[in-house]
Amino acid sequence: MVSGGILAGIVVVAILGPLISPHDYLQTNFDALLQRPTLSGARLFGTDDLGRDLFVRAMLGVQVTIVVAIVASIVSLVIGVAYGAIAGYVGGRVDAVMMRFVDTLYALPFIFFVILLMVAFERNFLLIFVAIGAINWLDMARIVRGQTLSLREREFVEAARLTGVSTLRIIFRHIAPNLLGVVIVYVTLTIPQAILVESFLSFLGLGIQEPQTSLGGLVDAGVNQMEGASWMLLIPAGLLAIVLLCFNFLGDAMRDVFDARNPR
Partner 1 sequence: MSLLELDGLTIRYGDTDVVRDLSFGVDNGESVGLVGESGSGKTQTALAILGLLPANATVAGSIRIDGTELLGASEKALNSVRARHVAMVFQDPMQALNPFTQIGQQVGRILIQHKLASAAEARARVIRMFERVGLPDPARQFHAYPHQLSGGMRQRAMIASALIAEPKLLIADEPTTALDVTVQAQILELLADIRRDTALLLITHDLGIVAGHCERMLILADGRLIERGATREVFARPQHEHTARLLAAAPRLDRTDIPTGPRGDTVLAISGAEVIYADRGQESLQAVRGVDLTVRSGETVAIVGESGSGKSSLVRAALGLVPMHAGRVVFCGTALAGRVQHRKKAVRRGLQLVFQDPAGSLNPQMRVASIVAEPLVVHEPAVDAETRQERVIAMLEKVGLGTDYVHRYPHELSGGQAQRVAIARALILRPKVLVCDEAVAALDGTVREQILALLREVQAEAALAIIFITHDLSVVRAISHRVLVMYLGSLVELADNAELFANARHPYTQALLQAVPVPDPEHAGGKAILAGEVPSALRPPDGCAFHPRCPFARDICSAERPPPRKIDGATVACHFAEDLSGA
104 vs 163, which CB is nearer to partner 1?
A: 163
Task: Yes or no: say if 236 and 162 are a contact pair by the CB < 8 Å rule.
Answer: no
77 vs 191, which CB is nearer to partner 1?
A: 77
Site size toward partner 1, by CB under 8 A: 21
Residue 183: CB minimum distance to partner 1, A: 13
Residues 179-198 that bind partner 1 (CB under 8 A): 180
Residue 90 binds partner 1, judged by CB under 8 A = no
**How far apart are the C-alpha atoms of 142 and 88, rounded to whole Å?**
9
* Contact letters for partner 1, residues 134-173 (x by CB under 8 A): --------------------xxx-xxxxxxxxx--x---x
**How far apart are the C-alpha atoms of 23 and 19, rounded to whole Å?**
9
> φ and ψ at 235, to 5 degrees?
-65, -55
Please list the residues that pair with 47 across neighbouring strands: 53
12 vs 180, which CB is nearer to partner 1?
A: 180
Alpha helices in the chain (DSSP H): 2-20, 54-90, 92-107, 110-120, 125-152, 155-163, 167-169, 176-203, 215-224, 231-261
**Residues that bind partner 1 in the complex, under the rule CB under 8 A:** 154-156, 158-166, 169, 173-174, 177-178, 180, 262-264
